[in-house]
Chain A
Amino acid sequence: MNNTLLEVSGVSVTFDGFRAINNLSIQIAEPELRAVIGPNGAGKTTFMDIVTGKTRPDEGRVIFGEKSVSLLGMSESQIAQAGIGRKFQKPTVFEAQSVRENIAMALRNVRGPFDVLFGRKADNREDRIREVSDEIGLTNALDQQSGALSHGQKQWLEIGMLLAQDPRLLLVDEPAAGMTPAEREHTTDLLVRAAKTRAVVVVEHDMEFVRRLNCKVTVLHEGSVLAEGSLDHVTNNKDVIDVYLGR
């Protein structure tokens, strides 16, 4: 791949003797939509933790962007500013604040405390907020407390906050969990559209949802890549069948 955005190579991480990630190598291009699947404990969430700086690997390299910056020495906030956004499994929007405040906080903008306090360089906010809220279908709810939103709406708000950050790489953890079929469809559309201009990595359990994403799939098992390719390709792979059905 010549337009690689994220390159994870030879990464291992051990928690109290348990090898959560074992010599993992993944490459993500820009733009690309990628689904990561695997049974519980395969290391999907740990993979995201490593890329976003929450967990430091014992060995290996994580390189981002055309300047090949190593993400390993950077803090979570520096990595976020470099252009990596993350959506958690449980919707984590700031429930005590309005939808507008949530989006405004995420907008790609100055991040330093003094800049934010005195409102420096904070321009064209309102139309950017509108743009995002239109995209996620929450324009009518802009002034609502986000704690009052439905579960699905909270998930969208969080995706909207990711879009507002304008990252080059989006890591999305189980976006469809607990959604109605109609909400799932909307979510699929959102992710597919977002992946037209940037890299989107979706971790998902639900095969039906992955099928609808219609993209390259990486199967993780015991902390390393078991198979990679189209969904049909990996579901016909013998190792994958053993892992998913054999136990």
Chain B
Amino acid sequence: MKNTFIARNPSVLWFLLALAVFTVVVTILSEATGFGLISTSFLKTLGKTLCLCLVAIAMDVVWGYCGILSLGHFAFFGIGGYAIGMWLMYARTEGLVQVSLQSAALPPTPQEITDAIGSQIFGVVGSSDFPVIWAFSHSLTLQLLAVILVPGLLALIFGWLAFRSRVTGVYLSILTQAMTLAMSLYFFQNDTGLRGNNGLSGLQNIPGLEDRSQAVVSLWFFWASAVALALGYVLFAYVVSGKFGSVVRAIRDNEARVRFLGYHVEQYKLFIFTLTAMVAGIAGALYYPQAGIINPAEIAPIASIYLAVWVAIGGRGRLYGAVIGAALVSLLSSWFTGGSAPDINLGFYVIKWTDWWLVLLGLSFVLVTLYFPKGIGGIFDALDRKRMGGDAS
């Protein structure tokens, strides 16, 4: 079984090898273990990039392999971030409150502690009561479950309704986008109980690890992101290869024909949609502790569109393509918009990359779609074919 799996997916070994080498090199160069050539903030950027690669391969499976152009998978990513963020905020605030109440004359009652935590967290939105959705925020285990189950359930219910009605193509994309928009508007409201547009913050401070430096904690998160990406890659490679993958790609190419072969197309789509949403949730839960803050703008439709752009540029229908696209575009994006890219002085006009990056990104998306529909990953295909051709002759 193992042998045939690797034989069907030659990219898996190469990918795992490259990821392992990358992880080791970054670890050696990081501030925590040695040379300090990679600053802690850049280490966080790299760790976040790995999480973006993970959500990108999920997007590739749902869009590139199954043909569902979902414009909502970054919302599932955000929900994963919110789910872990609730525990991070609660547990950290609880620690701070207990320290400050220790000096009180009388030992504080549990109710006093809860009230103090509530007013600390929800003071910014003029409230101190815990909303119902925070009921499990004290428990890391339950919030970790929520990271997977909440995006999974949402995707399951939404997908069931949409696929059962046989909504496909652009109509389905519009529907997923509407879902994403509704979700981000809902999260923006103060009444929702997720601190409105303030979002959740201070997520980089991990409760229980206060005595560790950020350099060390960041490295751990970087490792966790690398492991998650590796596991996600192997999982999706397994799903999209073999007969299941064959059926999924067939659904992408001709859904009606697959139905006449006797397959319940809706069940397959629902499985893929839900599984990728859960993986997106995990990726988000690893991303936001490294970013430190999450707010509803993160789950706005534009984020999901970027996700589709990464996959298109990297190359749909090949997992490593999604990784390349997400890593390249997101790193370039932070370089161009971070102000480190040199402005170009044309004499009559100065091109400021902070303004022009989006134009460049849009332009490259159009060019890739028109002239390189296989994206960057297509280059590997061409090389592979050349080598195979050489062998055959």
Contact = CB atoms under 8 A, between A and B. Distances in A.
Interface in A94-116: 94-97, 101, 104-106, 111-114, 116
B209 interface: no
Contact of B261 (A95, A97, A101, A165): A165
B97 interface: no
Contacts of B244: 113, 116-117
B243 A119 contact: yes
A52 interface: yes
A80 B249 contact: no
B242 A119 contact: yes
B262 A104 contact: no
A81 B267 CA distance: 15
B239 to A, nearest CB: 7
Interface range for B = 20 to 34
Interface in B262-283: 262-265, 267-268, 271
B53 interface: no
A105 B261 contact: yes
Given A94-B254, A117-B239, A122-B243, A165 B249 contact: no
A94 B254 CA distance: 8
B250 A97 contact: yes
A168 interface: no
A128 B268 CA distance: 25
B63 to A, nearest CB: 15
A54 B256 CA distance: 9
B243 A112 contact: no
Interface in A108-152: 111-114, 116-117, 119, 122
Contact of A104 (B243, B249, B253, B263): B243
B261 A80 contact: yes
A113 B260 contact: no
Contacts, number: 70
Interface string B241-252: 011101101100
Interface string A65-78: 00000000001110
Contacts of A111: 262-264
B259 interface: yes
Contacts of A116: 243-244, 247
B263 A77 contact: yes
A177 to B, nearest CB: 17
A200 interface: no
A164 to B, nearest CB: 9
B386 interface: no
B19 to A, nearest CB: 25
Given A94-B254, A112-B267, A104 B246 contact: yes
A77 B242 contact: no
Nearest to B271: A113
Contacts of A76: 256, 259-260
Given A101-B246, A116-B247, 4 more contacts: A54-B256, A94-B246, A94-B257, A113-B267
Interface of A: 52, 54, 75-77, 80-81, 85-86, 88, 92, 94-97, 101, 104-106, 111-114, 116-117, 119, 122, 161, 165
8 closest cross-chain pairs (CB), A and B = A80-B262, A76-B259, A81-B262, A117-B244, A94-B250, A101-B246, A113-B271, A92-B257
